[in-house]
Structure 1
Amino acid sequence: MTTPSAAVGASTALIARQAIVNSEKSVIGYELFNRSRAPAEHTAASDVLLVFTAMTHAGTEDIMGDKLLFVNCTHESLAGGHLELLDPSKIVLEIQDLGHSASAEAHLRLPMLETLKQRGFKLSFGHFVLDSVYAGWLALANYIKLDLTVLPRDQWLVLIQYAQKHSTAQLIAAKMETVEQFELLQQMGIKLFQGFWFARPSVFEAKILAPRQTSLVELITLLRRQASTDELEEVLKKDAGLAFNLLRLINSASFGMQREVTSFRQAVLIMGLKKLFRWAALLLAATKYANTPPSLGQTAVVRGRLMELLAEEFLSEEEADMAFVTGIFSLLDLMLSIPTADALQLIHAPEPIRQALLHQVGPLADLLTLAKACENNNDSVFDEAAEKLGLTNQQINWAHLRALAWSDQVNG
């Protein structure tokens, strides 16, 4: 794997992410924040922007993809030359409040914010920007985040209506934790949401698979049992859409095929059943279903790709493939609305994957722990998993950003 060398050292800030989704629960962007294992050395969350800048220019692939990236910034970092290297149309700068010095300094900071806005950067503020002392800032806001953990519920509607009346900014309900909050805020007019709940929503009660899920599960089961090509093609004949989507995925730029695969039989011949098992698993996550939010599939794809990229550092190619499938299947219970053990039995999952998902045993389990920690704020779990696997900050950051970009191509 190609990684940036001198650009980002071993003491670099560690990147974590949290998805920002719309009312349909489709991911529109990610907030990147610093979870450095050396907090004394990295007090500014905008260290992430420095890391991101270096990585973007260290390789040829488009790290950003089509998603917006929300990056926390200190006021001091906004004057840094690294901003000149970025495409401002894809970056949302999250601006901090000024605390007790707001009345004296808000107007002094305004020219810098106006310059950034003119250069094409989008600006995001916390709900503090609704205070009259920040009136000049409010006019520049593209996004305003409402922190649900500090705002009393009886103030939500008042603030939402005030923000809608006095600005053109899109409102984001941040730190959302329950489906009840999601539904209530939708009724109040909020259209963008952020919170750990979207990475692990409530399990659905329904036990009936969607038709496309049924066909994919049948295909995955046959691939695991090393069925004949005729048997596999029979499944695809019953679901022409499945066959089309699988071939489209295999031929997409994200897989780098040297020549176009025009039939499933050709795919079997060129790639073999083990690779097709991996891609059928990916299609299970990437396909949109009525009973599962799109953000769930996106999370599964990022997990799988991140685990694969990290596994390539110390495991064989076959084991890296299993790492990818483990990440995808880590959300299988929610994708299929049945318990994980039953889902794994249904598709005859390989034993190392079963051990990782059901018993948290082996390097695949450690990789999954690390991948999950990239989605939340449990620093101790993150540190322990990274140390156990012997992975550096640089390796984790690079793989994380590449996984985000790759998943964007797959889900696009």
Structure 2
Amino acid sequence: MSAALKSLKESEQLQVLLARQPIFTKNQDVVAFELLFRTQTGGFDATITDDRATLSVIVNTYASICREGEIRNLPCYLKLTDKVLLDSTLPELPKDTFALELLGHTEVTPALIAKLQELAKRGYRLVLADYDPRDTKFEPLLNIVHVLKLDILKLGLQALPAIIARLKPYNLELLADKVENQDQFRQCLEMGFSLYQGYFLSKPVPVRGRKIGGNKVVLLQLLAELQNPETTAAALEQIAVNDAALTYKILRVVNSAAFSLRREIESLSHAITLLGLDQIRRWVTLFLASGEEGKPDELTRNMLVRGRMCELLAELMGREQPINYFIVGLLSQLDVLLDIEMAELMEQVPLRQDIKDALLSRAGELGQVLSDVEVYERGEFDRLQRFVDPAYYEVAYRHSIAWGQQVMQAMSEG
């Protein structure tokens, strides 16, 4: 049993499934996370606020992010019903960790308004979701909440300027929700939204005929050589010497806390001897998928988490060569990173056919696991194929977030 698998099996299991979705500024920096959660049986669970173990995991893992080499905590939007908010047993939640999000189907009563005013006075940041400008019940809340979510798909992009004009006197921070592509992001940016949520970072903006940049050539040569079962450490090092900066970065990462090695690795051949070809394949793939100018850190962060979670699920399932699941997960957004259609990209990247099939059509065993991880990321927990016990999905996701942070930290140091 690998150390990672042992750690997974020994980790505390929560009673809820948790995922997080980033909330961005206009510069595409992450400033908060939306928490997505359900019980393992499929229902929403208000008791998340009562469970100390769950709160501890949220504070220590789900709220944290690596930025410029430092681990920082960001607020999490926590969806609460009016019933939960008015419950006298609601625990004292950390104000720096949680922004309280009111759902649109909330029943607005004098008691709720008084409760929200009290929470705002105590320093809680309040968010209102599912706003409908035609429903007058929301009017009293606009003077209390700090952030207002506008579902751009439901309200329609054309209707938004008039809605925003009506909301101006309230001095609210407006969040564009369900932003699905870069074109919608640009339109919302022009309208003056300050926050953005949705999957617009997950969609490529293909540039016809675009090729992988010259700075990736050495990585592609290494990746091609790593597909050769007869390759040697000397052959790989001979390719790597053409890019000293890349070799240095790989050595920085493998010497980082992500590996917890007892002695420092001084050369690529030394790394291969100690770690094996699979680990080198991992980091060559990693560097192929990072460092594109103009792309936000969150894209690389998500690629890392997705790759690692695919690998951990494969280990839990007893699948052979979990490293291939890592490669599939990590490269599943390479088209977004490079703005090249995946089909065109697969013609340029030397990968095994089963890996290409998984990336192009989510086919085969590799593709099935990738699809399940994508479903989990979106918080669509009822669509999970449940290859393993549902609790292990959350544990694998949690470990992947922590591992991704360690790697981002090591990369920034390099």
TM-score range normalised by the length of the shorter chain: 0.7 to 0.9
Quick check: 1:147 aligned with 2:151?
Answer: yes
- 1:2-401 alignment to 2 at 5 Å? 2=8, 8=14, 12-34=15-37, 38-39=41-42, 42-44=43-45, 46=46, 54-55=53-54, 57=56, 62-66=61-65, 67-78=74-85, 84=92, 88-97=95-104, 99=106, 101-102=107-108, 104-114=110-120, 117-118=122-123, 121-126=124-129, 128=131, 131-138=138-145, 141=146, 143-160=147-164, 166-167=170-171, 170-225=173-228, 227-285=231-289, 287-290=290-293, 292-315=295-318, 319-340=321-342, 343-344=345-346, 346-358=348-360, 360-376=362-378, 382-383=383-384, 385-386=385-386, 389=387, 391-401=388-398
Pair 1:379–1:135, CA change in 2 (3 A): closer
**Contact in 2 for aligned 1:3/1:58 (Cα 8 Å):** no
Alpha-carbon displacement from aligned partner over 1:236-285 (angstroms, at most 9, x marks no partner): 33333322322222222233333332332321221122210011212223
Question: What TM-score, normalized to structure 2?
Answer: 0.79
In 1, distance between residues paired with 2:389 and 2:144? 39
**Contact in 2 for aligned 1:107/1:136 (Cα 8 Å):** no
Q: By how many angstroms is 1:218 displaced?
A: 2.3
**Contact in 1 for aligned 2:181/2:201 (Cα 8 Å):** no
In 1, distance between residues paired with 2:56 and 2:184? 40
State the AA in 2 paired with 1:398. V
In 2, distance between residues paired with 1:35 and 1:56? 14
Pair 1:154–1:338, CA change in 2 (3 A): closer
Structure 2 counterpart of 1:410, from 400, 404, 407: 407
**Which region of structure 1 is more displaced relative to structure 2, 301-310 or 327-336?**
327-336
**Contact in 1 for aligned 2:205/2:340 (Cα 8 Å):** no
Alpha-carbon displacement from aligned partner over 1:192-247 (angstroms, at most 9, x marks no partner): 21112322344343522223333322222222235444443344333333223222
Pair 1:265–1:255, CA change in 2 (3 A): same
Show the counterpart of 2:3: none
Pair 1:298–1:271, CA change in 2 (3 A): same
Q: Which runs of 5+ in 2 are unaligned?
A: 1-6, 66-73, 410-414
In 2, distance between residues paired with 1:248 and 1:218? 21
In 2, distance between residues paired with 1:159 and 1:59? 34
State the AA in 1 paired with 2:119. L
Pair 1:193–1:266, CA change in 2 (3 A): same
- The percent of aligned pairs where both chains have the same amino acid is 24
In 1, distance between residues paired with 2:156 and 2:250? 48
**Contact in 1 for aligned 2:77/2:100 (Cα 8 Å):** yes
Pair 1:25–1:203, CA change in 2 (3 A): farther
Q: By how many angstroms is 1:348 displaced?
A: 3.2
Q: By how many angstroms is 1:165 displaced?
A: 5.2
**Contact in 2 for aligned 1:217/1:347 (Cα 8 Å):** yes
State the AA in 2 paired with 1:54. A
Matched pairs, number: 389
Pair 1:402–1:200, CA change in 2 (3 A): farther
In 1, distance between residues paired with 2:262 and 2:11? 29
**Contact in 2 for aligned 1:17/1:374 (Cα 8 Å):** no
Alpha-carbon displacement from aligned partner over 1:114-152 (angstroms, at most 9, x marks no partner): 36x53xx543223749954125523xx2x3322112324
RMSD: 3.5
Pair 1:206–1:343, CA change in 2 (3 A): closer
Q: By how many angstroms is 1:331 displaced?
A: 2.2
In 1, distance between residues paired with 2:401 and 2:91? 21
